[in-house]
Structure 1
Amino acid sequence: MTDALGATGESAGVDGPDEAAEPPPTPERTSWSRRRKALVALICLLTLSLFVVGGCAVWLLYSLNANIKRIDGVFDRAAIPAAGPRPPGDPAARGALNILLVGMDAAAAGADPEALRGRRSDTMMILHLPAGHASISAISLPRDSWVSIPGHGEAKLNAAFSWGGPALLVATVENLTGVRIDHYAAVDFAGFKGMVDALGGVTVDADKGRTKLDGTKALEFVRQRYGLPRGDLDRVAHQQQLLGAIAKQVTADGVLGSPLRTQNLLQSLTRSLTVDDNLNLKALLDLAADLKGINESDLAFRTAPVAGFDTRGGGQSVVLLDDKRCTELFAAVRADIPWPTPAPGELWRP
């Protein structure tokens, strides 16, 4: 996803001392608020498998949990001696949680390590849940970022997955950022396709105007690689547009208010989800309990600071990260403190 993200941030409003004096919301304001809250709910579903939305019962949660694939050895560096030790984690951030979210084609998202070799991850994000888990902050790592991959030298970030699966990708991200990753979650794009088809299609603001997409066309939209002025960064913007379109359609159709339709969406998503073997049912239940009360003001996306674009490694088009600003950003993540002020376009809120 950039696979990231770019748009402008926005600040939350502050209630005055006399709430009764505030005028009732207009229909337009209410509709926008509902769409934003739906978007937050969908992001939670896609990233953390928060299955307790729309009044889903506990028995349904157990059923959905059975759909999820789990993979072991994600954090084992014994087979990656060049990676060195894992980051220790900052004692000041006790209680905070960092999850590496990966998006990829369906064939690459399974739990068989051998089947993952040769595949590449399309979307990589660090989801940071601060102590108390009252919000979600996501930092997108462009797939074409030129980085050092343990045992392989410099290459694009998504090559780490191709060469060594989730374990090498986690080691690469941890070495790049200094952030200790607590959990790994991969979502194959079939989850997006299933959602769009379940909704009867969605409408996005594409380059050629407003366009209605079915599941197959939606996948083409988020996978587009050529003809994009900013390459990898624009690809991320497409993913954001699709997610927003799904949220709008869900709200318009009242899907989140229908347990049956919500179940259909969740079934599609959980069949597309692979996580590390430590992210068991209890861990998912705990996350769901912590995060079910978040709203749009508690969710923010940021793209890892980019210095520019260039060619490397025999003419490959790559993204060059801004080392200084990345160091500042990831130091804040490690210490569980507010992010440094973002540059224009780095921060996006739904």
Structure 2
Amino acid sequence: MKKRFLALFLALLLAPMWALGEDLLYEVDPETGEVLFLADPEEEIELESVAQDALDLVDGQMNILLLGIDARPGQESGRSDTMILLTVDANQKTVKLTSFMRDLYVEIPGYKNNRLNAAYRFGGPELLFETLKENFGIEVDQYVTVNFTMMADLVNQIGGLELDVESDYIRDRINAVIKMDNKALGIDIDTDLLSSSGVQTLNGKQVQAFARWRTGSSDFERTQRQREVIVAILEKLKNEFSLMQLMRLAATNFDNVYTNMSLATIMQLAPALFELDLSSIEQLRIPVDGAYKNQTVSGMAVLVPDRDKNIAAINEFFAES
């Protein structure tokens, strides 16, 4: 852990001017924080060495908690309805995704037991970090928080995502969410509706609805769809974007997210994406099957986890190479 933070600290010292050989890629204005790109975006760069250098900064494993705030159009804040741990293993060059369901009934340090997403509401990301460690032994290094509107904007910037709308029923549920948002925005409610199911390229609004809709007890399926979106974004960025395009995208969107990482750190780490194996991203959902009970506590429908079974599943998941 100390080595990891030392590496990140050195990255912060070096990041104001990052060079590759004789070619300066970018410079950060020390007064405004603005990123000034000095390299030609079309210039060929020795990607493999840059990506490996970035991956070396991770020094083992890094856990980044991706938080999705369910703030609908016209709202300024919402609940942390999406909690996905993205784990980068620098030694194995792999990525793992772990979803924590929002209705998990957990011990929240300093508060009464409650749903997991209440930890964010009570004390922000820091309390959520403590809660995950207390209940599941998970150490979180960094976090990135976005609302679903921000995610939709990002998807549009990268040209949409190819996703599988598996049935007409799912298409109709997606369209219902789109209509609700269109009404809130005061635009034609039929704007951006899906006309069919199947594999297709979805725009930002459609991806937002794909990741967000929930009916009855379908939150299990929703967490799966949210991981599908994360995988699709990572794959598209790695396979269709150049290093300079990726770094420009990171710089452009930095002010639209909430994170405990500086822009300098993100710019230093971003090239590591090109060195990671995304062909078989392992995924886990907490609680795992057979390790929870559906209960009603104080009028809340919650998932009461079997702590020992879920911790064992987490330990096994992260022990696998």
TM-score by length of 1: 0.55
The alpha carbon displacement at 1:136 in A equals 2.3
Deviation by residue 1:261-289 (Cα, 9 ceiling, x = unmatched): x577545643432221xx33554355345
Structure 1: which amino acid aligns with 2:307? D
Residue 292 of structure 1: SS of its match in structure 2?
helix
RMSD: 4.0
Structure 2: distance between partners of 1:266 and 1:302:
27
Percent sequence identity is: 26
**Partner residue in 1 for 2:142:** 183
The alpha carbon displacement at 1:291 in A equals 4.8
Structure 2, unaligned runs of 5 or more: 1-17, 19-23, 36-58, 169-196
Question: How many positions carry a matched residue from both structures?
Answer: 241
**Partner residue in 2 for 1:222:** 211
Deviation by residue 1:244-268 (Cα, 9 ceiling, x = unmatched): 66678779xx8525966x5775456
Structure 1 residues 140 and 242: alpha-carbon distance in aligned structure 2, compared to 1, 3 A threshold: closer
Structure 1: distance between partners of 2:236 and 2:276:
21
Structure 2: distance between partners of 1:150 and 1:285:
34
Structure 1 residues 127 and 226: alpha-carbon distance in aligned structure 2, compared to 1, 3 A threshold: same
Structure 2: distance between partners of 1:286 and 1:95:
16
Q: Is the 8 A contact 1:191 1:271 kept in 2?
A: no
Which of 99, 107, 127 in structure 1 is aligned with 2:64? 99
Q: Which fold has the larger relative contact order, with Cα–Cα distance below 8 Å and residues 6 or more apart in sequence?
A: 1
**Partner residue in 2 for 1:327:** 311
Residue 131 of structure 2: SS of its match in structure 1?
helix
Query: Following superposition of structure 1 onto structure 2, how do residues 257-336 of structure 1 map, counting pairs within 5 Å?
Result: 265-266=249-250, 269-276=253-260, 279-281=261-263, 283-288=265-270, 290-297=272-279, 299-304=281-286, 305-306=288-289, 307-332=291-316
Structure 1: which amino acid aligns with 2:226? Q
TM-score by length of 2: 0.60
Structure 2: distance between partners of 1:288 and 1:257:
11
**Partner residue in 2 for 1:44:** none
Residue 329 of structure 1: SS of its match in structure 2?
helix
Structure 2: which amino acid aligns with 1:328? A
Structure 1 residues 266 and 191: alpha-carbon distance in aligned structure 2, compared to 1, 3 A threshold: farther
Structure 1, unaligned runs of 5 or more: 1-51, 69-93, 108-114, 340-350
The alpha carbon displacement at 1:235 in A equals 1.0
Structure 1 residues 129 and 247: alpha-carbon distance in aligned structure 2, compared to 1, 3 A threshold: closer
Structure 2: which amino acid aligns with 1:183? Q
Structure 2: distance between partners of 1:165 and 1:62:
30
Q: Is the 8 A contact 1:309 1:317 kept in 2?
A: no
Structure 2: distance between partners of 1:258 and 1:292:
8
Residue 298 of structure 2: SS of its match in structure 1?
coil
Query: Following superposition of structure 1 onto structure 2, how do residues 118-129 of structure 1 map, counting pairs within 5 Å?
Result: 119-129=78-88
Structure 1 residues 287 and 239: alpha-carbon distance in aligned structure 2, compared to 1, 3 A threshold: same
